[in-house]
Structure 1
Amino acid sequence: MSSPRKSTKARLIEAALDLFAERGVTETTTKAVAERAQVNEVTLFRNFGNKYRLLLAVIQDSAVFAKLVHALVEQANAKDSVADFLQEYAQESLNTLDKAPDLVRSIVGESGNYPIENRLALGKGLDEASRYVAGYLEEAIAKENLTSNLTSEQIVNLLNFMLIGYFTIQSSCEGYTLWEDQNDFLDSLVTLFLQGSFAGSDFTSAVTETSIVKVKPKEVADLPASLVRSLFRNAKKMGKQEYALVYVLFGAGLSVSEIIHLERSHSVVEPQQHILQINYGIERQVPLNQWVMGFRYGSTSTNPLTYWLKSRKDEQPAIFINDASNAISEPELQTIWQELTADLLTPQGQPPMIEQARQTWCIEMLMKGMELEDLSILSGMEIKQLQKYALRARNKAALEAAAKLDQKKS
């Protein structure tokens, strides 16, 4: 049985939401919305009057804030502590914002052009969202018998302002590299709130002993060759894109943010080398290694990435895409990684994290004899940041030397 056809109003709202996300509110015309909804432009005016009344209907009808916040709190409220609640809420908030970055930028950047009723609707939605989250945060605070000079609503409002500010800067600016990646920002943010909001209470010591362990700077934890090989095998079974993704992660050492901004034109195949042009963050060129952890994956012109690009029939410029043939988002990339690593564990007994691919690449490059200065140029990381990688590489070299000595005696 076929599903009932959507009403004209519903189709117009849906079309407007899609176009506002694609082009922004200012650049979206009523004619384009009507064409997308397959109705006459006069019908749009009859139902809504003008574009901004249509935008108001989009905000109110889709219940954006209520649906978003309810989903976020359901996940965050399952956590055992305030620290975990804040971490989960912040992470899921950024993941959700990242699903429609153009729409978020448009609403934030163009809201000064909206009628007062539209701005009131936005303000009301944000206020209701903050109150809803604050109620659950207050319960979490009470469970741990914590005290704070700030109300739960003040804490949530500050947190939301910082999350929206970070998202806006990260999605609108290039070359802004104060934080290494999103996880680094979230760790800093949660630490700030744990120590600042609850200073002077019993929670200060709890932060030191428990939560800070979670948000301290991550140690280098490269992956063993056997695990990397298993990852490549899993990726090859899943598909050409997954195989290309793992190849780029371990063959070029890019961050997640850099990968989701890669475009086809950034893949430069030369006679002796396959190079990736990085235009997001720190601009540079990075060679795509043929050899990864002792195994060769094709040549400069024939490898998992070139196979994937040649198999494409779409015109999307992004190298990695989702099922809708749009550029893949960070949450979607993380989901692929989780599927690839579902049956794998690190020597520490933990599921591999996608950030460990970059760490593994850095250490492998140092093991091959690359100088820190050169690795700094290729990775876009400061030499000071790479010191810990150099220490880990020396540790691995010492282990290999010991193994060779043992083999000579046997």
Structure 2
Amino acid sequence: MNSTHERLMQAALELFTTQGVANTTTRQIAELAGVNEVTLFRQFGNKHGLLLALFEESERFTNLAESLVEEINPADDAGQILKNYASNTLLTFERVPDFIRSVVGEASQYPPESRRALGKGLKEVNRKVGEYFANAIAQGLLTTSLPVEKLAALVNTMTLGYAIIEFTSEMHEFWQDRDEFLETLVELFVAKGLDSSANLAKINQNLVVTTREIVDLPGNLVHQILHQAKKSSVQDFALAYLLFATGIYPTEITTLQITQQIADTQANILQITTPKITRQVPVNQWVMGKRYGSYTNNPLTRWLKSRKDNQTAMFINEAGLAMSALEIEECWQKWTETIVTPEGKQPTISQTQPTWCVEMLMRGMSLENLSILTGLAIAQLQPLAHRAKEKAAIEQATRLDQKPG
């Protein structure tokens, strides 16, 4: 027999679906679940608490974005993943079309707490999808000028809008069928050709070229970002420092454990473990011409020494859990909200990795060694090598101009 909690949830969903939220009473829900109405009040507070629980706990809703909340790597087919997510979402909606009609159609009649329940449920789905986009952007699979939460909101709004149109109207002729809608959605958000497996190898070989918006950041902006992070918190400073001192992806940072750092007077090393490869990456003392401590005393080591908790993750959120890629993106947005690049845009977190790569190349590192440290193919690094030569030429020309013959 299902628990009382589950029976109440199932009864609420059944009644909300068949007669609408507004017309359903707590007594009806309790009677259908075979429990006392007082039990409902103790567990959920009221009908609106039940509605909120449905969005937070019911598998029909908590699983909406699960197909996207997984580690992304350059071999993934971003277009197909996005299409699968939207398709799964529509299938979920189609299982409870009357409930969707009721929730949407009666929303204007709901009291504020009920509308907040609906909004909170949708916000949770949006948060999970945002994590996927943060991962995909960090890996170079997607490029966008929008914050990840806005991008996720657009995808979810369009998918829900399609479902509402299908459930409430006929002969609209917007799309021939669901597949046409899904293909259109993918074309809108994913670069042309990305969802073609035949083109994946070519795209990966030219990853840095195809993401032209991702360029290295000048030294003065890097130091401004680090300064803003330092003002925010000890952990923020360590996080920003790691992005610019190692060139690792935010998704790799989310998996780091405290034990994966090796620090002594000779070097500070991080062990990076991914499903495809395990590699070691040095943590630089020098970042863009400025020294940020030593191997044993820098923003990262100071953060770890300040920890009073028993958590094993290297970076943690307010709940004491490992930070997600989306939470790292949110930190980045906070540090850079007042900073503008030479192109007139807010810096993106995707620029940290090429910034580090260009700096290493300018300091004399070979493409072969950089390939080992980053896990990227030499062909992917060629555009960055050209950028490093370009910057070196500019520096030489500037020095020559300061010392006329």
Q: What TM-score, normalized to structure 2?
A: 0.56
Cα distance in 2 between the residues matched to 1:61 and 1:288: 40
- Alignment partner of 1:132 is 2:160: yes
What SS class does the counterpart of residue 269 from structure 2 fall into?
strand
CA drift of 1:217 comes to 2.9
Cα distance in 2 between the residues matched to 1:355 and 1:376: 18
Q: Compared with structure 1, are the counterparts of its residues 325 and 295 closer, same or farther at alpha carbon in structure 2 (3 Å cutoff)?
A: same
| Among 277, 290, 293, the residue aligned to 2:271 | 277
- Alignment partner of 1:338 is 2:333: yes
Q: Compared with structure 1, are the counterparts of its residues 363 and 94 closer, same or farther at alpha carbon in structure 2 (3 Å cutoff)?
A: farther
2:255 — aligned with what?
261
2:192 — aligned with what?
191
Q: Compared with structure 1, are the counterparts of its residues 406 and 60 closer, same or farther at alpha carbon in structure 2 (3 Å cutoff)?
A: closer
2:241 — aligned with what?
247
CA drift of 1:226 comes to 0.5
Within 5 Å, give how 1:391-406 maps onto structure 2. Answer: 391-406=386-401
Cα distance in 1 between the residues matched to 2:369 and 2:165: 47
Cα distance in 2 between the residues matched to 1:380 and 1:61: 38
2:318 — aligned with what?
323
CA drift of 1:350 comes to 0.5
Cα distance in 1 between the residues matched to 2:281 and 2:370: 10
Cα distance in 1 between the residues matched to 2:324 and 2:307: 19
CA drift of 1:270 comes to 2.7
Deviation per residue, 1:135-193 (Å, 9 max, x gap): 4799xxxxxx9976x52x33566799x9xxxxxxxxxxxxxxxxxxxxxxx99845359
2:102 — aligned with what?
none
2:376 — aligned with what?
381
What SS class does the counterpart of residue 351 from structure 1 fall into?
coil
**Alignment RMSD:** 4.3
Cα distance in 1 between the residues matched to 2:194 and 2:326: 24
Does the aligned pair in 2 maintain the 1:267–1:276 contact within 8 Å? yes
Q: Compared with structure 1, are the counterparts of its residues 98 and 224 closer, same or farther at alpha carbon in structure 2 (3 Å cutoff)?
A: closer
Which has the bigger relative contact order, CA under 8 A and spacing at least 6? 2
Does the aligned pair in 2 maintain the 1:130–1:156 contact within 8 Å? no
Deviation per residue, 1:279-309 (Å, 9 max, x gap): 1243100000000001101111110001101
Cα distance in 2 between the residues matched to 1:355 and 1:146: 40
Q: What TM-score, normalized to structure 1?
A: 0.56
Deviation per residue, 1:185-232 (Å, 9 max, x gap): x9984535999xxxxxxxxxxxxxxxxxxx953355100111011011
Does the aligned pair in 2 maintain the 1:98–1:330 contact within 8 Å? no
Residue 311 of structure 1 aligns to which amino acid in structure 2?
Answer: S
Does the aligned pair in 2 maintain the 1:262–1:318 contact within 8 Å? yes
Does the aligned pair in 1 maintain the 2:54–2:61 contact within 8 Å? no
Cα distance in 1 between the residues matched to 2:165 and 2:191: 14
| Among 96, 113, 118, the residue aligned to 2:128 | 96
Q: Compared with structure 1, are the counterparts of its residues 389 and 187 closer, same or farther at alpha carbon in structure 2 (3 Å cutoff)?
A: farther
Q: Compared with structure 1, are the counterparts of its residues 194 and 316 closer, same or farther at alpha carbon in structure 2 (3 Å cutoff)?
A: closer
Residue 402 of structure 1 aligns to which amino acid in structure 2?
Answer: A
Does the aligned pair in 2 maintain the 1:363–1:390 contact within 8 Å? yes
Does the aligned pair in 1 maintain the 2:229–2:236 contact within 8 Å? yes
Does the aligned pair in 2 maintain the 1:133–1:156 contact within 8 Å? no
Cα distance in 2 between the residues matched to 1:389 and 1:312: 37
1:237 — aligned with what?
231
Q: Compared with structure 1, are the counterparts of its residues 157 and 241 closer, same or farther at alpha carbon in structure 2 (3 Å cutoff)?
A: same
1:298 — aligned with what?
293
Deviation per residue, 1:35-77 (Å, 9 max, x gap): xxxxxxxx9xxx9xxxxxxxxx9767746756998xxxxxxxx
Q: Compared with structure 1, are the counterparts of its residues 156 and 223 closer, same or farther at alpha carbon in structure 2 (3 Å cutoff)?
A: same
Residue 219 of structure 2 aligns to which amino acid in structure 1?
Answer: A
Does the aligned pair in 2 maintain the 1:220–1:388 contact within 8 Å? no
2:103 — aligned with what?
none
1:311 — aligned with what?
306
Cα distance in 2 between the residues matched to 1:255 and 1:299: 23
Does the aligned pair in 1 maintain the 2:264–2:295 contact within 8 Å? yes
- Alignment partner of 1:154 is 2:186: no
* Structure 1 residues without counterparts, runs of 5 or longer: 1-7, 14-42, 48-56, 70-85, 101-127, 139-144, 163-185, 196-214
Deviation per residue, 1:264-283 (Å, 9 max, x gap): 01111133000000012431
Residue 235 of structure 1 aligns to which amino acid in structure 2?
Answer: A
1:359 — aligned with what?
354
Within 5 Å, give how 1:195-206 maps onto structure 2. Answer: none
Residue 271 of structure 2 aligns to which amino acid in structure 1?
Answer: Q
Cα distance in 1 between the residues matched to 2:212 and 2:339: 20
Q: Compared with structure 1, are the counterparts of its residues 352 and 334 closer, same or farther at alpha carbon in structure 2 (3 Å cutoff)?
A: same
Cα distance in 2 between the residues matched to 1:376 and 1:387: 10
Cα distance in 2 between the residues matched to 1:224 and 1:129: 37
| Among 220, 231, 250, the residue aligned to 1:226 | 220
Residue 309 of structure 2 aligns to which amino acid in structure 1?
Answer: D
What SS class does the counterpart of residue 275 from structure 1 fall into?
strand
Cα distance in 1 between the residues matched to 2:231 and 2:55: 44
The alignment covers a number of residue pairs equal to 267
What SS class does the counterpart of residue 325 from structure 1 fall into?
coil
Give % identity. 41
Cα distance in 1 between the residues matched to 2:219 and 2:246: 16
Residue 344 of structure 1 aligns to which amino acid in structure 2?
Answer: I
